[in-house]
Every structure is written in structure tokens, then in C-alpha cells.
Structure 1
Amino acid sequence: MLPYIYSFCLPKTDCGVLAVVMSRWDDIVGPKTVRVWFQEQSHEDMGLPIVFSRDGSDKESNDMGVKSKVPLSSEACNTEIVYSNKQEYHPGESGNIASQSELVDSNLFSAIKYVTNHTVNCLAVARESDAASSSCLQEKGTSFFAVPDVNLVFLSLMFLVKEGNTHVPYSFALITSYENYEYFLQLRSLCLQWLRRIAFRFHTLLVKNSCTFDTSLWKNLNEWIMDFCKMLVEVKQSSLDTMSFQISGNVVKSKIIKRALTSHLQTFGSSVVIGETADSINNMIAFLGLFLDDTDKHSSCLIDPLRKYSYHMGLKLQGLLLDEYGGRDLASLELMSNPIPVTVIDLTVGDSFGAVKQTSNFHSYLVNQQEMYRNEYRFLNQGNGSSLDHESVMQNVRETGRLVNDAIRDLEFLPVVYWETYIKTFRRRLNCLALSLLSLVSWMRNTGNQGGLIKFPGESRGGITLAKYLKNTLRLDDADFLVVLSAAEKLKPGIYIYVLERNNP
């Protein structure tokens, strides 16, 4: 008998994911699979028979209040093997092999067991005195396993859920075949962001409902995991690596291109482009993509005019087409859930101030490690949780720096075929400035200037902040300084908040 229930919740379109598994630690049986999500697979596709229970009796399959009547094999239970061409499938419902007339590959069952055994353990169990009593997600670690001998790769996130006086380890894991190892290695950070968000939402609702697993909880989980996999489908089909797009030289003649590129670099290359046509959106995305490294390009998507797109948290570059009513499918909840700031470039409003906006600077996200989850928590604790319009969390970008201005001016005179080479040189220059900034900060720390304002010999009073000292020394204006500081953060995480929050007057 299956020790867990499952849902047909993965999209039919291939996203590379074989299954998503939720597991927990049980003090009696040890690692335990709770629920599995995968695609519906027919016996005709697999060339295998259907297994039915002869008596059809209901038996408890887990401790979540859900019943299952599915035998693993005819040897284990009183079963018979028959063939059937009839299938009954209800999207989003959980079920079992007998009732859904389905059979899942036994290799996948083995993979699910392997994943569960390697994602939760008793070492993470914590009593109330050992764990913080908080509504925040208590993450215990992530894993990325590649097992070529059994054609298995999985990525998992383990976290704690309070049950009584004990914090019990749970995990979400994404399973794929070994042939997708290189592909999902590039998407590891993106997938972990989504698993972390799903885990936080699951934890919040579970604590809110006093650890009861009701129907609404599973329904919400089905929707979140489906959204996750839909995002992976878009990445696989429309990423900058899989789709080719010829950049038009007119993109650098846009009146907002300097502000757009400045904000794009300030927000670590995370931008969403809104437009009326797919060509105009893809032209801007392809141009901004030249300033990304190869890893970030894997998490960036062009758009297909025949498909409907929504904003997806975690993607570096993505586009949104206006709907037939001129609406923009963009909400503050999604923007604020992104782990880094986001630039919104609206090509439909001309060169107005509102054409380029961004969320608050990166150091605002880092003041509190769980800041990005606060909006999620409020959303899940409201009735229907309608979020505010995205305008309320955005600020206009008005300034451009000399670095970007000079780069755009040079690109205007260069043929498009040389842009990629020029931009590589621009990025090297930006990295050199970032390294210089890091060297200056290190020198300041080694000289013992750890607190207060920075004072220089000959000064009778006063002083300057570290941020102002770095600007003056590197000869950067405010806009360029944030661009260089963002590049430095990629090289040495933590430098952003150290510079902007330290010794402010």
C-alpha cells in the first residue's frame, strides 16, 4: 500500500520535472513521504498494465487524514492485473493508481523513496527551547544530489514546522532525470527561491490552522506547485539560450534606454519589460540580456505573442504584454516576494517619469532577513488577500550615470554585430571598479577605521561617511555608485548593506 497520496499537478508540457515530493520526519517510521505531485501518465504511453484492487477496500495511507486503496504490487495485496483503455482524470485532484486508472513507473517510486530518505533526518528535530518561536520559516538547509547510477537528480529544501512542543523537519524536493543535470544546475538558485517561497506559504497556513491538513491546504499547494512548474516551462521554451532574436539597433535610440539600463544594472539585472508588441518587448530584453552573465541568461525569458505571460518571481528578465483592456498582470505581492529589487520598464507610456521604476534599494531587503516574507504573511492571513497595485511599491528612476551614458553613446555609433564585444569590455570595466571599491573598503577596515565618520589628517572636525568617501575616491555620481555597488555585491555578498548602512550621520 502506498505510504503517501499524490496529485496530477505538473503541466502536460515538458518542464524537465518528473515529480515534486513533500516529506517529513516521523519518530516511529523515520523519513516519510507525505505527498507527491507528477504528470498524469497512461499505461499506453508506458506499455504497462493497470493494477486494480479486487476488493476495493479503503485503508489509511498516511497520518494526514487522507485515504488510499492502492497496492504496490499483486504480491502484497489481493489484486489482479487487467488492461484498460478507459481513463478518468480530474485535474488538480489527489488520488491513487486504482481510482485514476494510472500506473507510475516503478523506478519513480524508488526515486521518491530515495529522495525522502536523503532529505529529512532526526538531526534537525528541535524542541521548543532549542528553536526560535517565530512565524518565520526556519530553514535547515538545501541539497543538490546527482546520482547517475540510478538516473536521478534532485534539489531539496528542508525546513522546520512546529508541531506541539517540537519542530519537525519537512522538505520539498524536485526530481528530474540525470540527463537534465547541467540544465538544473544552472537553475538551482531559481528553483530554490521558489521552493523556499512554497515552504514559507505552507508553513504559514499550517501554523495558522493548528497543524491540520485540510482540503484547502492541499488545494493551495497544488496551485503553487503548478505555478512553479509553469514558470519552468516558460524558461525551458523561451529562455535567452533557447530562442534566438535579432536585436534592432533602434533600441539604443529609445528616449528611456539610459534610465532603463541604469536601473537594470542597479537591480542586479532583474527587470520586467511591459509593452504592446512582442517584438518591442523582446528587443529590449535581448539588449539588456547582453549585460547578464551566462547563469543569469538561463533564468531570462523572451515572450511568444501566442502565449499569455504572467510575472514570475525569481526570473532575471521577462516580459508582459498588455491585455485587450490595457491591463498589466503585475502585483505588489509578486514584486516584493522577489529576493532582489526589480526594475519595471514600461514601453507603453513614452518617455514619462513613470516609464522606468524600481523597488527599494537592495540594502532595504537585507535589513531584515525575512523582510521579503512579510507581505506573504499578511497576504495569507487576509481573507482573499488582494494585493495592492504595484505602483505603491515602486519609485521612479530619473537619474542616469556617466558610465551608462558613455556606453549608450558608443553603441549608437557601433554596428550591432560589435555590441556583444563592446559590452563584454564594459562589464570588465565595471568589475574593475567593483574590485577597486572592495579594496578600498578592505583598506579602511585594516587601518582601524571601524566606527563613526571617516576623518582624514588635517581635518579639524566633521568627516564623511564611507559611501561618500567611496564615491569621491572612485569619482562616481550617485547613479553610477549604485551600479558599481551592485556589481561589488555579486563579488562579495554583504558589501552593499555594509557600505550604505555603516557610519551614516
Structure 2
Amino acid sequence: MSSGCPPQSPAVAKTEVMVDGPCPLLAATFAYWDNILGPRVRHIWAPKQPGPDFNLLLSDGEVTFLANHTLNGEILRSAESGAVDVKFFVLAEKGVLIVSLIFDGELKGDKNTCALSIILPQTELGFYLPLHNVCVERLKHIIRKARICMQKGFNIISVLTSEIIPIIELLSSMKTHSVPEEVDIKDTVLNDDDIGDSCPEDFLTKAVSSHLQTCGCSMVVGSNPEKVNKMVLTLCLFLTPTERKCSRLCQADGSSCRYDSGLFVQGLLKDATGSFVLPYRQVLYAPYPTTHIDVDINTVKQMPPCHEHTYHQRRYQQAELSALWRAPSEELVGPDNNLTLPHDSFTPDLNIFQDVMHKDTLVRSFIDEVFHLKPGLQLRNVYLSHFLLLLHRKALTLLRYIEDETQKGKKPFRSLRSLKTDLDLTIEGDLNIVMALAEKLRAGLHSFVFGKPFYTSVQERDLLMNF
């Protein structure tokens, strides 16, 4: 980094975040545009890691210079109220990349243009890009809460810190425990000679089926790290290479073993008492529903489908922001405290994981047939590739079918029974798997098919089967 940088803004507070291993993040900053002094840095978050790499981090002056760069040219910004602009800067001359979220907020009674930024070395571009959406979505929601705190005069830094520190820890853990882009089938359950007591066939079938029904998002919980990671790698076989980069193995020592919203597959270790507490808020804020797999007791549970998950997520988010707006003091403001406040007749259902209700034939047939092939050869790998290609083609066919029936969305979809018959998806589990894959290809498909009003799954089936 260049040392000829201007000095940092006066009275810039700094929070040092201790991380266990190597952290790809150089710093995170919160800056705003002062109408008199121009860009000003309000706060800096910097990882602090032991070892020789500590000296490679940015100095405060360099952080301030880069943070100022993100606000230059934003003085004439025109955007809708509450809008958050995401900007991506690559400064080759400084050797860094900056991801900056630009938004409007009130500071000291005046409306200001603000920027919440994370700064990484340019060499980490390939590592960061698959995780970009994960970080941005989490930062967007914390900005919603921060804007309310700014308007009410609360301490915005403590609110931002509640999300910045977990993101720093997430990037650090992904640097050391992320799933490789290419998974060797020899390291998975699919390479076993047969399915025995270690992984019963019915359990494996249900785990893979539910994993596909929840758009490839699963958490694997257990006490044995080797067993947990073997199941994680098995589920990652059914993901794309980019999605695997957003998946994480469990840490054998159990340190920093927390659930992180937005990852596709993640391994989690139970504590010494054999239990694991899931944070309700983070699970609900995941972009897709999630499958919960316990390899100790061989249980599989899943969240409701995408349209129900989105409905509950938005209601929870609205209740959380409303409670924050009505908070009488800063003491009641915290990452998970908002729901303790009274709000509009919204009671979250904490029992969001349910048994897998619908069996399928696609995964069951695949599991039965793949173990007829000899282990240790490439035959199982080739067979897996053909199975994934089959699912992808079925998803594309389903999308084209719905486009034709609705004239590309110009009229509502009212022929679910015909779709299931024509595409050979009469088994509910098969339909859920193909719908989930199609959802990732065309976001919002579930809401379009099942209608904008919310119905329970039973009501939806009863309603749509009448057409």
C-alpha cells in the first residue's frame, strides 16, 4: 500500500476485531458526506490477527483515503427514499477492491449521503465474488435498521457493529474452511461400498431429497466433525461450483462455529452437552428455505417452501423494523432484542422446521441405482452428472411450460394439475425438487404459481387442484 495518503479525518473511532485465522478483509468503514468538509469517515472496523500478516493491514490514513474515494461524486446523487446503491470499485493502483453501499440518512439533524464499505485486497477478487450477494444482503438489512437509529438519534455504530463483526468472522472462516470448487466423490457417502449403519439409505435419500427441495440450502449438525463434513461434501455434489464456494465445512475444534445466513451448505458442531442452538432471526433471513440434518440421530427436517419462507421473512422484517422504530431508548436496541417489544399482532412461529412430508421418486431411484455401480471408479461420478443434467432439463422444461401457459406472465397460472401430468411430476416430492431448481433459475416462481396472497400448503393444493 502507498504511504503517501492524506491523514485520516479527525476523531475517527476504530474497532479492532480479533480473528483466529487469516482474514481477507482489510477494513470496513462507515463514512458520510459533510456539506462543509466533504467526505468524512465516522468509524473504522479492522481485523486484528496474530502473526506476521498483521503488518500487511491498511493504516488508518489509507483506510480513510479509500473510504473518501467511495463518496466522491455522490453529492448529486438522486435516488428514491430508502434506496441503497451497491457500487463495486477496483483500484488497481492501490491494489484493493471496495464494495460500497450508498444510502441516505440523518446525522446531526441533517440529511447526509452515507457509505458503508468493505475493503479487500485485489488478489481476493476470486474469493470474494461468490460471497458478494451474501455480504450485500446482510449489509442491506443492517442499513435499514441503521437509518431508523440515525433518525431517532440512537447510536448507529453499535447497530452496524452487530453485523460488521459477524461478516468479518464469516469471511475469515470461509478462507480456511470453505468447500473446494471441485468435490471428489471419494470423500463423500456416494463412494461407500454400501449403505450401512453409518448412513442408512433411507436417511441419505431423505437428506438429499430435502436438500434439493430447499434450493440446495442445508445445515448439517453433529458431534463428529468427520461425519459432519462427509455429509456436507455429499450434499455439495448436487451444487454448482460457484455454490460450493458459498458452502463451509465445520471446524474440528468447534471455534467460531456459528450459523451464517446466506450460505448454501454449512457444517455445525454441537457443544459439549450435545446440543446446538439455532438463531431464529438468521435462519429466517436466509434467501432460501433450509434443510436441517442431524447426523447423530439421522433426522431430516425442512423449512416451508420458498413462497411461504418469503412471506414469513417479510413479516418478521417488518415487525423488527416497526419495533425498532417504537423503541423508547437505545438499551432496547440489539441484534435480537427487537421482538421483545410489542408490535402489530405478529407472533413468530419458532417451530419453523418440519418433517419432510413428501417423498419423491427421482432421488430414491438415483440412490438405489448409484450403489449398483462399482465404487472407486468414475462411473458414479458420470452417473451423478447425468442425474443433475436431468434435473436441470426438467426445471427448464417446467419454466417453458409455465411461460407458454401464462403468455410469459401476462395471465395467472391455473393449470397445475395439467403441468404435473404432462411433465410426469405427479409425485409431490418430485414436483418440489424441480420447482426448487426452477426457482433458482427464475426467482419468484413459487409466488407466481401459488399466487400473491398467502395460503398454507394444504389450502394451496386444495385451491389449485380445482382448476
TM-score band, normalised by shorter chain:
0.7 to 0.9
Query: How far is the alpha carbon of 1:445 from its aligned partner?
Result: 2.4
Counterpart code for 1:197: H
2: CA distance, partners of 1:324 / 1:397: 28
Q: Pick one of 277, 280, 288 that aligns with 1:340.
A: 288
CA shift digits 1:281-340 (9 cap, x unpaired): 111101000001111111111112213311111111112222112221312122112121
Q: How many residues align?
A: 419
1:278 matches 2:278: no
CA shift digits 1:327-355 (9 cap, x unpaired): 213121221121211111122334xxxx2
Query: How far is the alpha carbon of 1:121 from its aligned partner?
Result: 4.0
Query: How far is the alpha carbon of 1:402 from its aligned partner?
Result: 0.9
107-116 or 399-408: bigger deviation: 107-116
1:305 matches 2:247: no
Structure 2 stretches lacking a partner, 5+ long: 1-6, 340-346, 453-462
1:432 matches 2:432: no
Q: Name the residue aligned to 2:419.
A: 470
CA shift digits 1:50-109 (9 cap, x unpaired): xxxxxxxxxxxxxxxxxxxxxxxxxxxxxxxxxxxxxxxxxxxxxxxxxxxx99265444
1: CA distance, partners of 2:124 / 2:359: 41
Checking the alignment, whether the CA contact within 8 Å between 1:161 and 1:203 is kept in structure 2 is: yes
Query: How far is the alpha carbon of 1:480 from its aligned partner?
Result: 1.2
2: CA distance, partners of 1:192 / 1:470: 36
1:361 matches 2:320: no
424-433 or 386-395: bigger deviation: 386-395
1:262 matches 2:209: yes
1: CA distance, partners of 2:387 / 2:113: 46
Query: How far is the alpha carbon of 1:369 from its aligned partner?
Result: 8.2
Query: How far is the alpha carbon of 1:368 from its aligned partner?
Result: 8.2
Q: Rate the CA distance shift 1:371–1:292 in 2: closer, same or farther, 3 A.
A: farther
1: CA distance, partners of 2:83 / 2:381: 40
1:490 matches 2:455: no
Checking the alignment, whether the CA contact within 8 Å between 2:90 and 2:97 is kept in structure 1 is: yes
Counterpart code for 1:225: I
CA shift digits 1:196-244 (9 cap, x unpaired): 233233234434xx1343xxx4344334322111111111101111898
- CA-atom RMSD in angstroms: 3.4
SS across alignment from 2:126: helix
1: CA distance, partners of 2:203 / 2:54: 53
Query: How far is the alpha carbon of 1:436 from its aligned partner?
Result: 0.7
1:329 matches 2:271: no
Q: Rate the CA distance shift 1:162–1:426 in 2: closer, same or farther, 3 A.
A: farther
1: CA distance, partners of 2:377 / 2:322: 49
Q: Name the residue aligned to 1:11.
A: 19
1:227 matches 2:166: yes
Query: How far is the alpha carbon of 1:164 from its aligned partner?
Result: 9.4
Structure 1 stretches lacking a partner, 5+ long: 49-101, 132-137, 455-464
Checking the alignment, whether the CA contact within 8 Å between 2:306 and 2:446 is kept in structure 1 is: yes
Identity of aligned residues (%): 24
SS across alignment from 1:115: helix
Query: How far is the alpha carbon of 1:263 from its aligned partner?
Result: 1.4
Checking the alignment, whether the CA contact within 8 Å between 2:260 and 2:282 is kept in structure 1 is: yes
1:157-306 aligned within 5 A: 157-161=101-105, 168-207=112-151, 210-213=152-155, 217-241=156-180, 246-248=187-189, 249=192, 250=195, 253-306=200-253
Checking the alignment, whether the CA contact within 8 Å between 2:41 and 2:64 is kept in structure 1 is: no
Counterpart code for 1:111: L
2: CA distance, partners of 1:124 / 1:447: 33
Query: How far is the alpha carbon of 1:403 from its aligned partner?
Result: 0.8
CA shift digits 1:346-402 (9 cap, x unpaired): 22334xxxx222222111244588446246447855677468999512222132211
1: CA distance, partners of 2:166 / 2:217: 20
2: CA distance, partners of 1:2 / 1:398: 58
2: CA distance, partners of 1:47 / 1:9: 15
2: CA distance, partners of 1:338 / 1:103: 32
Q: Pick one of 23, 34, 40 that aligns with 1:32.
A: 40
Counterpart code for 1:474: L
Q: Name the residue aligned to 2:4.
A: none
Counterpart code for 2:97: V
SS across alignment from 1:311: coil
